[in-house]
Structure 1
Amino acid sequence: MPELPEVEVTRRSFADRITGATVVSARLGKPLRWPLGVDPQLLSGRRVTGVGRRGKYLMLYLDEGLLLMHLGMSGSLRFAHDPGAAGIHDHFDLVTTAGVLRLHDPRRFGAVVWAPRELDERVVRLLGGLGAEPLEDGFDAGRFHAALRERRAPIKQVLLAGDVVVGVGNIYASEALFHAGIRPTVRAARLSRPRADRLHAAIRQVLQRAVEQGGSTLRDFANAMGDAGHFQLQAAVYGRAGQPCPVCGTPVRQIRQGQRSTFYCPSCQRG
């Protein structure tokens, strides 16, 4: 699943190129997770004023309204002057004077939703419960620790939930916990302020490094220019079960938490 780094990498890869362009037309393919919410023809003539992100959602701002986009489990966006004929898994095209923005989503868990304004109830319903943005100044270490003190679930599960801090997906939660020296099964409420501070810093560092590396390409992720990510090649524990820890040499372990694979070093992450 594309996580925050992949979505941010995607945003950066086409935002400057599409900003200022005028929408010529829009095409819908097979139904996605939620309906578009507007007649596609009504998007024609609107100008793209910018591209933002909230968690794993992209926000394509128009001079009238906005398009909220989610890549789902396997989706990706492409932006090209001539992407060719739409394939069976291409479910949305936004044709602009600068190029075509196309959503490719084999599993159709992605979405494109139009809203007349950012505070529309559809936007609030999707974004209102999201936690702090980990790469922005609002991700405060003190508030992060206070929120963890209220959670009795394992820290890995709390990170994935997205209501304390948004966008720390499965890969990046395992990596951040490793760099902070925290076992993924420890209850969030048990973390002291110093340990929470280490985790806070590790989350920032891991996500920023992932963005710089173009995200992670485990199957078919690529940014809007078709470029794959490389962070997975530098992962310390994720996907390395049985291999030696890069710090101490102990074999990395793999467990299941909430139907997701978790990777950790039993020596470096003692508690």
Structure 2
Amino acid sequence: MPELPEVETIRRGLVPRLEGHTLSGALCRVAGLRQPLPAGLNDLLAGQRLHAVERRAKYLLLRCDNGTLILHLGMSGYLRVVDRELPPGKHDHLDLLFSDGQALRFNDARRFGLLLWTTDDPQHHPLLSGLGPEPFDEAFTGDYLLERARGRTASIKTLIMDQRIVVGVGNIYASEALFLAGIHPARAAGRISLERYRRLVDVIRSVLGEAIAAGGTTIRDFSDSDGKPGYFALSLRVYGREGEACPQCGGKIRQERIGGRSSFFCPRCQH
């Protein structure tokens, strides 16, 4: 699933190509994805200017004159800016059409993606209103994490992957950050010191920033708005490396299921 760095990479690719441009409508080749597409989307968008392409957690927010499109890529969705006359591929389910001849094409093989329209503040939408702070926000601190972890017996990995606690720390990035912080992913969240939480916040930001700079992580089929893959996978220290040598101590990296997800860690370096 595209995570925060992948979605941010796409957002940054779309901004110079689409912001300030005028929509001429939409071409929907299916009635819905995870949910039905907005009724009358073509007429609704025609003539509206796309003022900003923003991101909240893993959602893209396309702010127009009279409202906002909320877009989620689902498990395998991706976006490309193409000539609107380019014939669609098998899973090209939706085009947002622009008056200059471009189209923002949404491909989603599994159809777990989402496109919604709201005329209200999108931050108040039920999908977004309960989300935690962004990992780069000032509100996300070691003190904040310690307070949210107080009394919790659930694992630290489960805590930092909870989107109500902090957004965008998916499975790959949780494993990488906990390795760099020296914290075992199964350790109870309520039994971690403030000093270690402050270190964890720093490395979460570092790992996500590194992934954004590298264009995201390609595990299966992520690509940015130009169809180019992300390269952070080349820098992964523990994720997907079970049985390989730890880059710090040389011991073997292990894999366990924690909170229902595959977790990779070094039993020597993380405790």
Q: What TM-score range do you get, normalising by the shorter chain?
A: over 0.9
RMSD after superposition: 1.4
Uncovered stretches (5+) of structure 2, i.e. residues with no partner: none
> Are 1:105 and 2:90 matched, yes or no?
no
Uncovered stretches (5+) of structure 1, i.e. residues with no partner: none
Q: Which amino acid aligns with 2:60?
A: L
SS in 1 for 2:54: strand
Show the counterpart of 2:121: 118
> Are 1:3 and 2:6 matched, yes or no?
no
Deviations 1:1-31 (A, max 9, x none): 0000000000001112101111112012222
Matched residues in 1 for 2:142 and 2:211: separation? 21
Matched residues in 2 for 1:87 and 1:93: separation? 12
Matched residues in 2 for 1:83 and 1:74: separation? 24
Q: Which amino acid aligns with 2:212?
A: V
Deviations 1:66-104 (A, max 9, x none): 100000011111112347222231121101134211111
Stretch of structure 1 that moved more, 220-229 or 26-35: 26-35
Q: CA deviation at 1:117?
A: 2.2
Show the counterpart of 2:95: 93
TM-score normalized by structure 2?
0.95
Matched residues in 2 for 1:116 and 1:173: separation? 34
SS in 1 for 2:94: strand
* Structure 1 segment 28-177 matched on structure 2, within 5 A: 28-30=28-30, 31-40=32-41, 41-82=43-84, 84-98=86-100, 99-119=102-122, 124-177=125-178
TM-score normalized by structure 1?
0.95
Q: Which amino acid aligns with 1:116?
A: T
Matched residues in 1 for 2:238 and 2:248: separation? 10
Q: Which amino acid aligns with 2:93?
A: H
Q: Which amino acid aligns with 2:198?
A: D
Show the counterpart of 1:20: 20
Show the counterpart of 1:232: 233
Q: Which amino acid aligns with 2:221?
A: D
Matched residues in 2 for 1:215 and 1:138: separation? 24
